[in-house]
Structure 1
Amino acid sequence: MEYLLIAFILLVALAPLSHFVPSKRQRRQAQLREAAALAGLFVEFRPLPGSGPDTGNDPPVIYYGLRLAPSPGRGRRRSAWLRQGDNWRGVASREVPPAPLQGCPPPVLAASIDEASCGIYWREDGDTATVAVLRDILQRWQLQLDA
């Protein structure tokens, strides 16, 4: 009986530590972000382009971006496109989306470019193969920008 009581007290004492064990979803997100970093991408939380003020109710959107070399003498415009089904529409203009975006996997919500980076917004609904596809798309986009 004493051993049972000791085991119970140990379980009660150690139970709060289980809160610090990552969930399956957290482990998968860490795996995706590590794959992105190893592929040369950076990961940030960003608001979705064209969204209104943050209400706190929107699920987080993750930006996987590729840094761009400085473009002295030729300014890069800031542009963004939202995805609706298989179609893309410009956020602030009717600018045609870059050709590499046509091959985006379904979890992609939007894409944008600014002076420092080009990138894709998504909710990390995929696997490391999806990250590889996103990297390829961003690298093709980068080559198109440098041309």
Structure 2
Amino acid sequence: MTYLIIALIIAVALAPLLHFVPSKQQRAQARLRETAALAGLFVEFRDLPGLETRAGRVSAGERQVLYYGKRLAPSKGRAKRRGVWRRKGGDWAPVGGRENPPSILNELPPQILASSIDEASCGVYWREEGGVEMVEQIAHSLETWAQQN
């Protein structure tokens, strides 16, 4: 009986620690982000560009997506380039401009929602709906795109 009480007390004391154990989904996200970091990408939350607002209200879940970006070398002496493209029905459409999308965007997986380039980085917006292989494909495409600029 004494051992049972001691085991119960230990179980009650250790139960709150289970909240610190990552879930399966959290481990998968960490694996994706680690793969991105090892491939030279940075990851941050950003608002999805070109999001049409419904009556001016869009939830944070719809607005905030992850941006996987590749830093670009400083563009001294070259024209500053900015562009944003959003995937609509399988095709890439410019957001707030007329510039045609780079051909490299056609190599990206269909889970990519949007893409952008500015003087500091080029990258993609997505909801991390894929595996490590997809992150590697994204990293390869962004590396190729960065070398073209």
TM-score of the superposed pair, with normalisation by structure 1: 0.90
1:76 matches 2:83: no
Quick one: distance in 1 between partners of 2:13 and 2:63?
34
Structure 1 partner of 2:23: 23
Q: Is the alpha carbon distance of 1:14 and 1:23 closer, same or farther for their aligned partners in structure 2, counting shifts above 3 Å?
A: same
What stretches of structure 1 of length at least 5 have no aligned partner?
Answer: none
How far off is 1:54 after superposition? 6.5
Quick one: distance in 2 between partners of 1:56 and 1:71?
33
SS of corresponding position for 2:60:
coil
1:36 matches 2:8: no
Q: Is the alpha carbon distance of 1:109 and 1:71 closer, same or farther for their aligned partners in structure 2, counting shifts above 3 Å?
A: same
Quick one: distance in 1 between partners of 2:75 and 2:61?
37
The answer as to whether partners of 2:47 and 2:63 remain within 8 angstroms in 1 is no
1:61 matches 2:65: yes
For the aligned residue pairs, the C-alpha RMSD in angstroms reads 1.7
Greater shift, 61-70 or 72-81, is seen at 72-81
TM-score of the superposed pair, with normalisation by structure 2: 0.89
Quick one: distance in 2 between partners of 1:69 and 1:26?
32
- For these two proteins, the number of residue pairs brought into alignment is 145
Greater shift, 75-84 or 124-133, is seen at 75-84
Quick one: distance in 1 between partners of 2:61 and 2:139?
29
Deviation string 1:73-121 (CA, Å, 9 cap, x unpaired) is 2232321111123111111012211100001112111100111000011
The answer as to whether partners of 1:78 and 1:114 remain within 8 angstroms in 2 is yes
Greater shift, 114-123 or 86-95, is seen at 86-95
Structure 1 partner of 2:3: 3
% same residue: 57
The answer as to whether partners of 1:75 and 1:115 remain within 8 angstroms in 2 is no
Greater shift, 111-120 or 4-13, is seen at 4-13
